[in-house]
Amino acid sequence: MTDIPSSTSSSGPSSGRSEELTIRPDVKKRAVKIYTRYERFWHWSQALLIFILAFSGFNLHGTLSLVPFPLAVMVHTYAAILLLVLWLFTTFWNFTTGQWRHYLPQNKGLFAVIKFYAYGIIMGAPHPYSKSLARKQNALQSLAYLTFMVIIGPALWLSGIAYLLYGLWETMQNSQQIFSLVAFVHTAAAFAMITFVVIHVYMTTTGKTVFHYIRTMITGYEKIELTPAEEAYLEEQQPDMLKANE
Amino acid sequence: MTDHAAFRGLGQAFRLASAAVLLTALTSISGPVIGWSKAYASPTATADKPSTEKQITGKKPGETADHSKFEILQQDFKSGPEVTKACLSCHTEAATQVHDSIHWKWEYDNEKTGQKLGKRYVINAFCGNVASNEARCTSCHAGYGWTDMRKDPPAAPEAVDCLVCHADTQYYKKFPAKAGLPITEPMDFNGKPFKVSNLIEAAQSVSLPQRDNCGACHYYGGGGDGVKHGDIDSSLNKPSKDLDVHMAADGGNMACSACHSGSGHVWPGSRYDMEAKPQARDDEGKKLPSFAMRRMNETASCESCHTDAPHQGKTLEAIKLNNHTDTVACQTCHIPEFARGGVATKMLWDWSTAGKLKDGKPFALKDDKGHPSYDSKKGDFIYEENVKPTYSWFNGQFTYVTDNDPVDTSKPVILNALGGSANDETARIWPFKLMHTKQPIDAESKKLVYMHLFGKDSDAFWKSFDWPNAIKAGQEYMGKDYSGKFEFIETRMWWPITHMVAPSDKAVQCEECHSKGGRLEGIEGVYIPGRDDMPLINWLGYGLIILTILGVAIHTIFRIATRKQRQH
Ligand code: HEM
- The per-residue pLDDT for range A168-225, each reduced to its tens digit, is 998 888 889 999 999 999 999 999 999 999 999 998 888 778 888 888 888 888 888 7
Distance B551 CA to ligand 1 centre (A): 27
Atom of ligand 1 nearest to the CA of B534: 40
Instruction: Residue count of chain A, please give it.
Output: 246
Is B6 within 8 Å of chain A by CB? yes
Alpha-carbon distance B354 to nearest alpha carbon in chain A (angstroms): 47
A121–B559: do the CB atoms touch at under 8 Å?
A: yes
Give the closest residue (by CA) to ligand 1 atom 1: A157
| Residues 6 or more apart in contact with residue B59 via CB below 8 angstroms | B208, B257, B261, B263
How far B523 CA lies from chain A's nearest CA (Å)?
13
Residue B103 to residue B216: CA distance in whole angstroms: 13
Buried b / exposed e along B241-261 (16+ C-beta atoms within 10 A):
bebbbbbbeebbbbbbbbbbb
B143, exposed or middle or buried, with CB in 10 Å at 0-12, 13-18, 19+? Answer: buried
Q: Does B317 touch chain A (CB under 8 A)?
A: yes
State in Å: Cα B316 to ligand 1 middle. Answer: 15
Name which of B260, B224, B303 is nearest B57 in CA terms. B260
Which candidate in A18, A64, A69 is best for mutational testing of the B interface (most B CBs within 10 A)? A69
Q: Smallest Cα–Cα separation from B172: which of B239, B87, B254?
A: B87
Could you say which residues from 15 to 44 on chain A have a Cβ atom under 8 Å away from some Cβ of chain B? Answer: 16, 31, 41, 44
> B116: closest CA among B362, B403, B314, B367?
B403
CB pairs under 8 A between A and B: 154
Ligand 1 atom 10 nearest Cα:
A164
Look at ligand 1, atom 40, and give the residue with the nearest C-alpha. Answer: A61
d(CA B328, CA B312) in angstroms, rounded, equals 17
CA-to-CA separations, B440 to B136, B351, B532, in angstroms, rounded: 20, 8, 40
The torsion defined by the Cα of A15, A18, A21 and A22, in degrees rounded to 10, comes to: -160
Which H or E element spans position A49?
Answer: helix A37-61
Has residue B450 got a pLDDT over 90? yes
CA distance A83 to chain B (A): 11
Answer whether B103's CB lies under 8 Å from B143's CB: no
This prediction's pTM: 0.85
Residues B14-37, mean pLDDT to the nearest whole number: 40
Q: At what angle do helices B3-41 and A37-61 cross, to 10 degrees?
A: 50
* Alpha carbons B46 and A75: distance in angstroms, whole number: 33
Interface test mutation site (partner B, options A49, A67, A78, A222, max chain B beta carbons within 10 A): A78
pLDDT digits (tens, 9 = 90+) for B169-188: 999 999 999 999 999 999 99
**What average pLDDT does range B384-392 have in this prediction?**
98
The whole domain housing A137 covers 22-241
pLDDT confidence of residue B314: 82
CA B209 to chain centre: 20
CA of A142 to the centre of ligand 1 (A): 26
Contact between B473 and B132 under an 8 Å Cβ cutoff? The reply is yes
Q: How far is the CA of A186 from the centre of ligand 1 (A)?
A: 6
In chain A, residues with a C-beta closer than 8 Å to the C-beta of B316 are 74, 77-78
Report the number of distinct structural domains present in chain A. 1
Q: What is the pLDDT of residues B295-319, one digit of tens each?
A: 655 678 898 889 888 998 888 899 9
Chain A residues whose beta carbon lies within 8 Å of the beta carbon of residue B562: 122-124
Q: Whose CA is nearest to atom 19 of ligand 1?
A: A57
Is A17 a residue whose pLDDT tops 70?
Answer: no
pLDDT of residue B60: 66
- Nearest residue (CA) to ligand 1, atom 4: A160
What contacts B283, CB < 8 A, 6 or more positions away?
Answer: B295
Q: A203 to chain B: which residues are within 8 Å by CB? A: none
Would you state the pLDDT for residue B22?
Answer: 44
- Does A136 or A7 have the greater pLDDT score? A136
Identity of the residue in B17, B322, B530 whose CB atom sits nearest the CB atom of A167:
B322
Which residues lie closer than 8 Å to B458 by C-beta, 6 or more apart? B464, B469
Residue window 50-69, chain B: list those with CB within 8 Å of chain A: none
Q: Does B557 touch chain A (CB under 8 A)?
A: no
Mean pLDDT for all residues in chain A: 81
Nearest CA in chain A to B2: A3
DSSP B381: E
Burial readout B378-390 (b: 16 or more C-beta within 10 A, e: otherwise)? bbbbbbbbebebb
Asked if residue A28 is part of any domain, the answer here is: yes
Phi, psi dihedral angles at B430 (to 5 degrees): -120, 155
| A4 assigned to some structural domain | no
Residues of chain A in contact with residue B550, where contact means CB-CB under 8 angstroms, are: none
Q: Which of A152, A163, A165, A176 to mutate to test the pocket of ligand 1 (most atoms within 8 A of CB)?
A: A163
d(CA B115, CA B399): 8
Residue B483: the pLDDT is 96
How many angstroms separate the CA atoms of B459 and B468, rounded? 9
Residue A136 maps to which CATH number? 1.20.950.20
Which residues numbered 87-146 in A keep a CB inside 8 Å of some CB on B? 121-124
Q: Is residue A161 part of a domain?
A: yes
Q: What percent of chain B has pLDDT over 90?
A: 73
A18 vs B515, residue with greater confidence: B515
CB contact under 8 A, A73 and B29: no
Per the CB < 8 Å rule, is B537 touching A49?
A: no
User: pLDDT-based confidence at A134, cuts 50/70/90?
Assistant: low
Report the percentage of chain A scoring pLDDT > 70: 84
User: Is residue A9 domain-resident?
Assistant: no
- Contact map slice: A 186-225 vs B, CB within 8 A: 187-188, 190-192, 194-195, 198-199, 202, 205-206, 215, 218-219, 221
Q: What is the DSSP string of B94-121?
A: HHHHHHTSHHHH--EEETTTTEEESTTT
For residue B35, the CA-to-ligand 1 centroid distance in Å is: 20
Grouping H, G, I as helix, E, B as strand and the rest as coil, residue B495 is strand
Given a contact cutoff of 8 angstroms between Cβ atoms, the answer to whether B110 and B273 are in contact is yes
| Cα dist from B520 to A140, B66, B424, whole Å | 47, 52, 18
- State the distance from the centre of ligand 1 to the C-alpha of B470, rounded, in angstroms: 63
Q: Which helix (H) or strand (E) holds A57?
A: helix A37-61
- Model confidence pLDDT, tens digit, residues A65-93: 899 999 999 999 999 999 999 999 999 99
Q: Cα separation of B248 and A1, whole Å?
A: 79
What is the rounded average pLDDT for all residues in chain B?
88
pLDDT number for residue B562 = 79
Tell whether A132 is covered by a domain.
Answer: yes
Mean pLDDT, rounded, for B490-495:
98
User: Hey, which residues does A28 pair with through a beta bridge?
Assistant: A226
Judged by average pLDDT, the poorest of A159-163, B458-462, B502-506, B554-558 is B554-558
Distance CA(A151)–CA(A196), nearest Å, equals: 12
Q: How far is A39 from chain B (nearest CA, A)?
A: 13
Residue A56 Cα to ligand 1 middle (Å): 8
